Amino acid sequence: MPDESLSNPDRSRRAPFLGTLVPQTDNLENAEFLRALLLLGGAFFTLTLLAYACTTNWTWPFPRDKVTLVLGRDFLNLWMYGRAVLDADPARFYDLVTYNAELAKLLGPGYPGQNWPNPPTALVVMAPFGLLAYFPALIAWFSVSLLAFYLAGRREVADERTLVVVLVSPAALLCVLSGQSSLLTTAALLAIFASLDKRPVVAGVLIGLLTVKPQLGVLFPFALIASGRWRVFLWAAMTAVVLFAISVAIGGPESWHDYITKAMPLQREVLRDPAGTAVPFQSSIFMNVRGLVGNRAGEMIQLAFAIAAVAAVAAAFRYRSGGDARQLQALFLACTASASPYLGSYDLLPLTFASVALLAEGKLDATGRRLAQLIFWVPALQLLLGHLQIPGPGFVASAFAAYLLLKLFAPAVPSNATAAAVG
């Protein structure tokens, strides 16, 4: 049912402020969905952020939240990569005991344990931030990330208010609270898709840089090969090799050895933890089913979804590469979310952007609108249901991918048949 405030001029005039925030769209149902996402998402974002700020101990130089974690808890790890560039032996931080002992020197004893999860290429990317003290580095990180998101996002939408809807999403909220890289990686992914044909060198370099978060770019080789974008593929490969070489020059070959033998097994242990501590914050298929079927069966189910995601991306980029660019982008991002067992809910921000953009562009039917709405709320649903070990939110991205695949491969309706139907 269309929103009355949008179809009734008198009521619309009584809500001028709301009208200035809702992205412009010709479809009243799309406008209603966008309005609801903006209102409810904005309220959830604002109230949560206020509660977090009020319960944070603003001590300098490391403010702590109510569970004693540093403000921007995940950025602490990223910042440590920057600081480690000047360390004589950066690889030593992949050892859990050594890394937490180093954190204790900075933060004091008793800090909740953390691990160093990123590949050594993060040493290269985070080096500039390691030159700053923690809090100034965090401010710089958010400033650069938000600017990159705005610059990339504004080129993707007809109405910049669409960006506001994305920025009040639960995925964006988790990114802000944790100091994660989602705003920056979303900007990179948007720039990649915008540059695939027009600026293949730029697209390739960005894909190569995205190997710092490999779970976000794992499907690019299949998409590039299927669509015959060999220049992009070549530049991505060269960038990845250069990034690898620089990381070896900084951290030595042992940094990669320790990442593979220490960090990667530890990440797997985190996912397989019997207590399910990470489940509320991970929206992957594996994390949704492991509580019901166990780790071994969960891994098999995740593998099946990953294979399906590869097949869907390869088919779409091979046979529908000239189709709707936004739908292809959203399909790729939905399949990416379906393929990896390690997917923080904040990493759904690129897919959130694509789904909101599809809504704003009027490219979704009733089913698509509901799925886009669910995509928006998946991080919040995962937080709620994950604590109860109830599966469900992790399958939304896969359902959206299936919907988009059907849309892309739907037979074209002849113009004369359309005219007859209208008549």
Token pair belonging to 36 = 């609801």
Angle subtended by helix axes 73-84 and 96-107, to nearest 10: 100
pLDDT of residue 418: 44
| Alpha helix stretches (DSSP H) within 55-160 | 73-84, 96-107, 122-126, 134-154
Instruction: Count the neighbouring beta carbons within 10 Å of the beta carbon of residue 168.
Output: 22
pLDDT of residue 34: 94
Is pLDDT at 18 greater than 60 in this prediction? no
pLDDT above 90 covers a percentage of the chain that reads: 78
pLDDT of residue 420: 44
12-16, 64-68, 236-240, 397-401: lowest mean pLDDT where?
Answer: 12-16
Rounded to whole angstroms, how far apart are CA atoms 55 and 89? Answer: 37
Q: How far is CA 106 from CA 61, 68, 101, 263, in A?
A: 10, 14, 9, 21
Is pLDDT at 391 greater than 70 in this prediction? yes
Is pLDDT at 104 greater than 60 in this prediction? yes
pLDDT in tens, 27-86: 888 889 999 999 999 999 999 999 999 999 998 889 898 888 999 999 999 999 999 999
Instruction: Give the dihedral of Cα atoms 378, 381, 382, 388; nearest 10 deg.
Output: -160
pLDDT of residue 415: 52
Q: pLDDT tier at 26 (50, 70, 90 boundaries)?
A: confident
Q: pLDDT tier at 4 (50, 70, 90 boundaries)?
A: very low
Is pLDDT at 416 greater than 70 in this prediction? no
pLDDT in tens, 349-373: 999 999 999 999 999 999 999 999 9
Q: pLDDT tier at 389 (50, 70, 90 boundaries)?
A: confident
Is pLDDT at 271 greater than 80 in this prediction? yes
Is pLDDT at 422 greater than 50 in this prediction? no
pLDDT of residue 419: 43
Segment 261-267 mean pLDDT: 92
Domain ranges of the chain: 23-408
Rounded to whole angstroms, how far apart are CA atoms 121 and 133? Answer: 21
Q: pLDDT tier at 12 (50, 70, 90 boundaries)?
A: very low
Is pLDDT at 266 greater than 60 in this prediction? yes
pLDDT in tens, 154-168: 999 989 999 999 999
- For residues 21 and 198, which has the higher predicted lDDT (pLDDT)? 198
pLDDT of residue 97: 93
pLDDT of residue 22: 79
Segment 206-234 mean pLDDT: 96
| Alpha helix stretches (DSSP H) within 155-279 | 161-167, 170-178, 182-195, 200-209, 214-217, 220-227, 230-251, 253-258, 264-272
If you average pLDDT over every residue of the chain, what do you get? 91
Characterise 72 by phi-psi region: left (phi > 0), alpha (psi -120 to 50), beta (else): left
Is pLDDT at 1 greater than 50 in this prediction? no
pLDDT in tens, 398-415: 999 999 999 999 886 665
55-59, 141-145, 226-230: lowest mean pLDDT where?
Answer: 55-59
pLDDT of residue 421: 42
Q: Which helix (H) or strand (E) holds 7?
A: helix 4-7
Q: pLDDT tier at 113 (50, 70, 90 boundaries)?
A: confident
Token pair belonging to 93 = 């931080």
